[in-house]
Amino acid sequence: MRACVPLIVAILCSLAWAVEEDPEEPEPFLGLEEEVLEAPASNLYTAPSSCRYRCHEAFDRHQPCHCNARCPEFGNCCKDFESLCGHEGFSYSRDAITKEGLQSISEKIYRADINKAQKEDIILNSQNRILPSETRDQVDRCPEPLFTYVNEKLFSKPTYAAFISLLNNYQRATGRGEHFDGQQLAEQDAFLREVMKTAVMKELYGFLRHQNRYISEQEFVSDLKNMWFGLYSRGNEEEDSSGFEHVFSGEIKKGKVTGFHNWIRFYMQEKEGLVDYYSHIYDGPWDSYPDVLAMQFRWDGYYKEVGSAFIGSSPEFEFALYSLCFIARPGKACQLSLGGYPLAIQTYPWDKSTYGNGKKYIATAYVVSSTR
């Protein structure tokens, strides 16, 4: 019997700017890959209710729960099946999503993003770059806005319009429960319908189906809805947050900005005078859009120490990459490639609530590195 043992390696030592944005959120898992090692004989015994050292074992009706590839179908998996057996070897080794596979599909998604901004659509004024050690100073070193010009005709494109309609559906303060009315639920469905029409999401679904993650587009869309719009508890009250709210819209927790990783949201809030751009510590190597910027800013009185975001990407592009990384590398740095440049995205599963068979909501997703 073989077991998956995480190999912890310090990969962020050369990426000093990629600090943890919220010390109360789960610590990032620093292993890029899981290394399959032979389990010592003394470790082969495990609790009967766990999948540790039991991934893909043959069905045994005497076991109280199971860890084989078909246990999700029968609803009799052990509670830790998804975390121990459900990724990097989803059912069998042939289904594993490799680093090379991630790089290949991310390049295809990058090329398929026909709705992204063109060079003439955005004029960015990044101004002063600071050192990572200065991010906590909360000093405004940029007197002018980040965005000098954005061609707002972009926002009339179906996926942009559907995305923007979602941004005002949330209370940004954690600890206050979210409640969606019929129209807001319809807006979630409309967004999913629009993004699924795009070449970006068709590439992603085709890849994941080939990897045996989903058997139908309907199953995939249902999972995306729960993954991104399902509510979980981030504060004292139940159901006060969601992956979409955190990543794209932004939240305030204990007097600090958390999440808020979307350029469209940033531009619209800056235009309204609610965002004050302070500085940046990283500007990506791309000479076209999408690009990556790691910045400091104040949002309606609350400070964001390091907020990384794609610039000029379409909503479906970000939605696809973050979903890919959450499915393929939950809780890990997800190594991708865009236009020949390496890039990593960190996601975090959130344990306070689950959907489906032990799957966890996406808690945060953000770009952690990009180097030549």
For residue range 312-341, list pLDDT tens digits in order.
Answer: 999 999 999 999 999 988 888 899 999 999
Interval 46-62 mean pLDDT: 73
**What residue ranges in the chain does DSSP mark as E strands?**
2-6, 34-38, 122-124, 147-150, 231-232, 241-242, 251-253, 256-258, 275-283, 291-299, 302-311, 333-338, 341-355, 359-370
Which residues partner with 38 through β-bridges?
Answer: 2
Instruction: Check whether 39 has a pLDDT greater than 60.
Output: no
Contact predicate 2/38, CB 8 Å: yes
Burial of 256 (0-12, 13-18, 19+ CB in 10 A): middle
pLDDT of res. 28: 29
Contact predicate 90/71, CB 8 Å: no
Tell me which residues are annotated as active site. 246, 261, 304
Give the distance, in angstroms, between the CA of residue 197 and the centroid of all CA atoms in the same chain.
21
pLDDT of res. 368: 63
Q: Which of 11-15, 70-74, 170-174 has maximum average pLDDT?
A: 70-74
For residue range 298-307, list pLDDT tens digits in order.
Answer: 999 999 999 9
pLDDT of res. 62: 79
Confidence of residue 360 (pLDDT cuts 50, 70, 90): low
Instruction: Check whether 143 has a pLDDT greater than 50.
Output: yes
* CATH for the 47-87 domain, from 3.40.50.720, 3.30.360.10, 4.10.410.20, 3.50.50.60: 4.10.410.20
Residue 132 gets which letter from DSSP? G
Instruction: Check whether 164 has a pLDDT greater than 90.
Output: yes
> Closest Cα partner for 208 from 101, 345, 348?
101
Tell the residue number behind the tokens 């979210």, with chain if given.
Answer: 178
Q: Domain limits of the chain?
A: 47-87, 100-368
Confidence of residue 237 (pLDDT cuts 50, 70, 90): low
Distance CA 110, CA 48 (A): 44
